[in-house]
Structure 1
Amino acid sequence: MALPIPLPALSALLLTLLCIYKFLIYPLFLSPLSKIPAAHPLAAVSSLWIVYKRYSFCELATIHDAHQRLGEVVRLGPGEVSVNCVRGGIQTVYGGGFEKHDWYPNMFTNYGHTNMFSMITSKPHSIRKRMISATYSKTTLQSSAALAAQSHSILHSRFLPLLTRLASSNEPFNIFPLLSAITMDFVTCYLFGLSSGSNLLQKEEERNHFLHLYHCRRSYNFWPQEMPRMKAWLEWFGVKVVPSWVGDANEEIEKWTMGMVEGAERVRETGVEDVADSPTVYAQLAGSMVKASSSSSPSKVEDPTPETERLQIASELLDHLAAGFDTSGITLVYLIHCLSLRPKLQSALRAELLTLSPPILPSSSSPNLPSPKYIDALPLLNAIVQETLRLHAAIPGPQPRVTPASGCKLGGEGKEFWVPGGVRCSAQAWSLHRNGEVYADPGEWRPERWLVEEEDGELGKKVRFVCEGEMARWWWAFGSGGRMCVGSNLAIYQMKMIVAAIYTCFTTSIVDDEGIEQCDLYTAPPRGNKLMVKLEAV
């Protein structure tokens, strides 16, 4: 007679079988995701392989290679997929308003408070976006007297004199920090006003210190972003995977930003004497927050104390200035790198820029800049900026979302896959922008792909900038849907102003571009953090 199996042994056996089913049989054969091509043999049963790729700074290249081999939808883990298509891809996920993954608040929270970018759910995001989106509309930017005055001061009092000195010295210099400085000055002056914003162009020591603080943290982003629980667990045991000085750098950046917040508040309380000192975005956000706090609307999500409200405003605006200066500075360094390799294209751009009235000249005594509408209408300048944002998107990495509880279908026609709720899904601009069926020779920087030549009556032929059709649909430099970059118009505005200021009267040539390749990161600056150029006056 067979002896009964002891209860502990039976429990262990059942637990083992349950684990085999849950972690092997179900994900490999029964999960709806099992029908999606796996980017790696372990993808169905473990996320460790893609986590390691992220840790090793090769996530973008790995995902791109998987799409090249396997198609529009690939499986990255037991509960994660990547999409690389418009229909059934970014239209469904981002146009459909899927909620954000908790990856965002893990990394993009300031002062202990979430901001619009790091809010997971749509409702608080929509409330915050309604408060400030009007200040970033193209119409507002192009008609803003404050921004016009700020731009004139930054270009004519800070940037052009600096360019003139650099050109006369005939010495090579690293242009990347200067681009970071001027984009920071543009953004913070629009946020806080000229007197309260930064002046990194003229304050070299402050510029170098801030950029050191900002960039030194980059290699330590993995743990708080991808493995926050593991990080906390290791620290509980006394193992520091992120040095304490990273936290010190974050605190110093927050303190620096709070100084500008306080300056803007003083201007707002005492009144604006000079239109350039208008804290446009701060005033709009602070006024909207006060109004929302006093509202009895049922849509109100919280009733913050004055100090909490102050920190929420600071968190929001720190996110805006960080994203606004970093991404535009990265884009500009690649734009200048590509133009520096093409002297004839520089000449063509200069001829176009000289049609502006008034042109942006170092010696100009004009109190005005050319109309932003005229700058925005220049076809070659448009094409150069558009193509740089395509090939060298400053944020080329995945934008994680979570599929809704009801599930969804992902993939193009004939290649659809059912994906259940709660699955992490994402697309990345790096791959969308390298679709050879949409962009001929996708690895080549070719601004002419955005230009068409057409007849213009008796005037003969003219060139027109065109952003439409499949190329426009696959272009994803600022994301799409309700969560796309709120500051995209300001980014384009400042980049065009800066390019016009440089190439109207100067030429650039490369002295040293070692390390110009983009980092394989969510935000992707040059690996070497430099581009050594020579500037010559025309």
Structure 2
Amino acid sequence: MAFLSVPLLAVLSVCCLAVYRFFIYPTFISPLSKIPNAHWTAPFSPLWILWTRYSSRENRVLHAAHLKLGPIVRVAPNEISINDVAGLRTVYAGGFEKGEWYSIFDNYGVPCMFSEWHSRTHSARKRMISNTYSKSNIHNSAALAAQAQAILYGRLLPAVDSADVKGIDVHDLWFATTMDGMTAYQFGLKNGSNFLQDVAYRRHWLDLYQGRKGSTFFTQELPQFLKYCKKIGIKLVPKWVDDANQELEDWTQMLCDNAMAYMKSSAATDKDVANDPVVLNALISGIGKEKKMKGEESVLASTALKYERLSIASEMIDHVAAGHETSGITLTYLSWQLSRDIPLQDKLRAELLGLKPNMLMSNSQPQIPSSKDLDALPLLHAVLMETLRLHAPIPGNEPRITPYPSCTLGGYTVPGGVRVGAQAHSVHRNSEVYPDPETFDYTRWLDDENGYSEEQRKERDRWFWAFSSGGRMCVGSNFAMHGENPLLPQKLS
């Protein structure tokens, strides 16, 4: 019998190793092989989940997989999805870092707090600005109260009054309102945006911002493939997307520069507290303290301290994007739900008219009630919470990387380096916690009416995940609730 040639043996060996590495091991031997597969190809190919994401079906498809297979499913050879409170606590409480997926949120070539991969650098950035978004600061901020007053009565109500009698595009209106509110808190009222009055630029800006969304897939899911294609002259991301990103960055840099110039020249003599650039001031101060106290020893030495101007702008554009979009989405869905339920409108309006001041436009000098008084309104709170539950503004997957050497999730041993994530779309649709989860039922949050036991209330609150959880949850959650609270009362009253 003739012996096989050395080259042929080499080829066969490589083929056998490839079959073992890419099929036999992940399908039958890997610790992940014990986890239910969301699709039959998941153990040996990521193509199924990549196509699902490319076609914008991930939320619905993964939710269906969890309903069928349970709280933990395998979606790719090195990726799992979770949907239970215990898993959320494990993954998002700390120790599970972010990865390259978040690099798309870098701006000006430098990271911001949200895009930082590692907890240490994230924490250092968060310390600089977290106090500006704390609940106590939101309740007591004279600047924020003055800004809200000016935007609501000086811009929003006149825009509504002058709208076409046939109707109004509330999506456009709410996005403009939340943008003006967000940038006013960041840069001061006079140096923030004025989208409520500058309709032409508002629509241009929103077209730029929202038009890019279909072009993020390759950057987030296949970054190395994207780089390779770029090298050989294949452009998977259109040039107009790069141009849009550049214009949005230039616009935010202009807001930063104008606000910093104001802080140097006019802030000391300006008596209008609404012009106080609260967030920008805190960030500049925080970077200054970090530089003075730690210098080259700081974990931010190579980023925020080295590229201070760009790092400030990167943080600010991230707040601009997250702050206006999430609140704008929530208010749009909330308006839609209210438009379908006139009795609920009447109940909510009656509750709001009990406030002092009650925000009636018939008053000669209408005032906004305090944040504390608005927070104490049970029906308003219930309507907001149910909107955030059913229409989470960030409903999709929030991936993390499992730590080495391994961890335990859902009773399974998961090796380090595995991508794992949860999505609010599924977390908020647990029928055992939220009966009839696809129904808008604000009474879930009215403890005097729903008859829930103490344990049911605790479970309801545990499963609420609109702002994520843990040390890297949304830093602006209190600001978001504040921004949404006074807007509807004003419109309804």
| Alpha-carbon distance in 1 for matches of 2:363, 2:14 | 79
The letter for the 2-side match of 1:124 is T
Give the alignment partner of residue 429 of structure 2, picking from 426, 434, 454: 434
For 1:507, the equivalent position in structure 2 comes to none
After superposition, the C-alpha distances for 1:479-509 in whole angstroms (9 at most, x for unaligned) are: 00000000010000011111111111xxxxx
1:483 to 450, 454, 472: 472
Give yes or no for the alignment of 1:94 onto 2:92.
yes
Residue number in structure 2 paired with 1:85: 84
Give the conservation status (yes or no) of the 8 Å contact 2:79–2:418.
yes
Preserved contact between residue 110 and residue 303 of structure 2 (Cα < 8 Å): no
Residue matched to 2:481: 492
* 1:286 aligned partner: 284
- Name the SS for the 2:162 alignment partner: helix
Query: C-alpha separation between the residues in 2 aligned to 1:134 and 1:364?
Result: 34
The residue number in structure 2 matching 1:457 is none
For the residue of structure 2 that corresponds to 1:425, the secondary structure is strand
Q: Secondary structure at the match of 1:217?
A: helix
Indicate the residue corresponding to 2:141 in structure 1. 144
Q: State how far apart, in whole Å, the 2-side matches of 1:15 and 1:401 are.
A: 33
Identity %: 48
TM-superposed CA distance for 1:468, in Å, is 3.8
Unaligned runs of 5+ residues in structure 2 are: none
Who is 2:255 aligned against? 260
**2:122 corresponding residue in structure 1:** 125
Maintained 8 Å contact 1:293/1:304: no
Match of 2:4 in 1: 5
Q: Over residues 11-38 of structure 1, what are the superposed CA-to-partner deviations in whole Å (9 max), with x where a residue is unaligned?
A: 1111111111111111111100000000
Structure-2 separation of matches of 1:359 and 1:250: 42
Residue 234 of structure 1, CA deviation: 1.6
Alpha-carbon offset, residue 135 of structure 1: 0.4
In structure 2, the residue corresponding to 1:99 is in which secondary structure?
A: coil
Map of 1:17 onto structure 2: 16
Could you tell me which amino acid in structure 1 is paired with residue 57 of structure 2? C
**Could you tell me how far 1:267 is from its partner in structure 2?**
2.0
Give the number of aligned pairs.
488
Distance of 1:391 and 1:367 partners within structure 2: 33
1:417 partner letter: Y
Which one-letter code corresponds to 1:173 in the other structure?
I
SS at match of 2:81: strand
The equivalent residue for 1:69 is 68
Q: What is residue 156 of structure 2 aligned with on the other side?
A: 159
Q: Secondary structure at the match of 2:114?
A: coil
Give unmatched runs, 5+ long, in structure 1: 455-462, 505-538
The letter of the residue matching 2:168 is F
Residues 476 and 160 of structure 1: CA distance in aligned 2, closer, same or farther (over 3 Å): same
What is the Cα deviation at residue 287 of structure 1? 1.1
Look up the SS of the partner of 1:491 in the other structure.
helix
Aligned-partner Cα distance in 2 for 1:356–1:426: 42
| Deviation (angstroms), 1:144 | 0.3
Q: CA deviation at 1:449?
A: 1.0
Provide the rounded CA distance (Å) in 1 between the counterparts of 2:151 and 2:12. 72
Give 2:386's aligned residue: 387
Q: Are 1:451 and 1:466, in contact at CA under 8 Å, matched by a contact in 2?
A: no
Map 1:272-421 onto structure 2 (within 5 A): 272=268, 273=270, 274-296=272-294, 298-302=297-301, 308-366=307-365, 368-411=367-410, 416-421=411-416
Q: Following TM superposition, by how much is the alpha carbon of 1:466 offset from its aligned partner in structure 2, in angstroms?
A: 12
- What is the alpha-carbon distance in structure 2 between the residues aligned to residue 97 and residue 340 of structure 1? 44
Q: Decide whether the 8 Å contact of 2:146 with 2:273 is kept in 1.
A: yes
Q: Partner residue of 2:208?
A: 213
CA contact (8 A) 2:151 2:180 kept: yes
How far residue 303 of structure 1 moved from its aligned partner, in angstroms, is: 5.3
Q: Say if 2:326 and 2:394, in contact at 8 Å, map to a contact too.
A: yes
**Which structure has more helix as a fraction of its residues?**
2
Distance of aligned partners of 1:164 and 1:305 in 2 relative to their CA distance in 1, 3 Å threshold? closer
Report the alpha carbon displacement of residue 94 of structure 1 after superposing the two structures with TM: 0.4
Deviation of 1:305 (Å): 8.5
1:524 aligns to what? Answer: none
Q: Distance in 2 between matches of 1:265 and 1:255?
A: 15
Which amino acid counterpart does residue 327 of structure 1 have in structure 2?
T
Cα deviation code 1:413-448 (max 9, x no counterpart): xxx111111100000000010110110110000101
More strand by share: 1
User: How much has 1:96 moved relative to structure 2?
Assistant: 3.4
The one-letter code matched in structure 2 to 1:130 is R
Give the Cα–Cα distance (whole angstroms) in 1 for the partners of residues 217 and 206 of structure 2.
20
Q: Structure 2 CA distance, aligned partners of 1:307 and 1:24?
A: 46
Corresponding residue for 2:225? 230
Higher mean C-alpha deviation, range 444-453 or range 302-311:
302-311
SS in 1 for 2:408: strand
8 Å CA contact 2:95–2:403 kept in 1: the answer is: no
State whether structure 2 residue 491 is matched by structure 1 residue 502: yes
What is the one-letter code of the residue matched to 1:484?
A: M
Cα deviations by residue, 1:225-255 (Å, 9 ceiling, x for unpaired): 1111112222222222211010000000011
Alignment of 1:178 with 2:178, yes or no, is no
Matched letter for residue 408 of structure 1:
C
* C-alpha distance in 1 between matches for 2:78 and 2:291: 39
Output aligned runs, 1:181-200, within 5 Å. Answer: 181-200=176-195
Q: What TM-score, normalized to structure 1?
A: 0.88
Tell whether the 8 Å contact from 2:27 to 2:43 is kept in structure 1 after alignment: yes
RMSD (CA atoms): 2.0
Find the residue that maps to 2:433 and give its secondary structure.
coil
Q: SS at 1:156's partner residue?
A: helix
The change in CA–CA distance for 1:193 and 1:3 in structure 2 (over 3 A counts) is same
Q: Secondary structure at the match of 1:452?
A: coil
Give the partner amino acid of 2:160: L
Partners in 1 of 2:455 and 2:404 — Cα distance? 39
Following the alignment from structure 1 to structure 2, what is the Cα–Cα distance between the partners of residues 305 and 40? 43
State the SS of the aligned residue for 1:115. coil
Deviation at 1:153, TM superposition (A): 0.2
Deviation at 1:307, TM superposition (A): 7.6
8 Å CA contact 1:81–1:423 kept in 2: the answer is: yes
- After superposition, what is the alpha-carbon deviation per residue over 1:344-397, rounded to whole angstroms, capped at 9, x for unaligned? 100000001111111223343337421110011100000000000000001000
Distance in 2 separating the partners of 1:36 and 1:466: 30
Any idea what SS the aligned residue of 1:318 has?
Answer: helix
2:389 and 2:466 in contact (8 A); partners too: yes
